Amino acid sequence: MKTFTQNETSYTSKEVKIVNTTYILMQVKGKFNYINVQKVSVNSLLGKDFESFEAAIANYKNPKLKAALIEFQEELKK
């Protein structure tokens, strides 16, 4: 897990590999608050933003990605 702060906003990210696909999960807290899920590929520059972990989890059908989001959320609580 990586964390950095810029302009009074904290960015915490985690890279997750599910089968042959890599995702970057990010929580942004500060001036703006959101969860970002980005599929890492040659053509992917932007991820998808969600208001909460619950909204992000509900958006995806892949049970492994849902589990990764839940795990990331729990890690952030520690």
pLDDT band at 46 (very low <50, low <70, confident <90, very high): confident
Question: Total domain count for the chain?
Answer: 1
The domain containing residue 50 runs over which residues? 2-77
- Asked whether the predicted pLDDT for residue 45 surpasses 70, the reply is no
SS3 string, the chain, reads CEEEEECCEEEEEEEEEECCEEEEEEEEECCCCEEEEEEECCCCCCCEEECCHHHHHHHCCCHHHHHHHHHHHHHHHC
Those residues with Cβ within 8 angstroms of residue 78's Cβ, 6 or more apart along the chain or in another chain: none
pLDDT band at 44 (very low <50, low <70, confident <90, very high): low
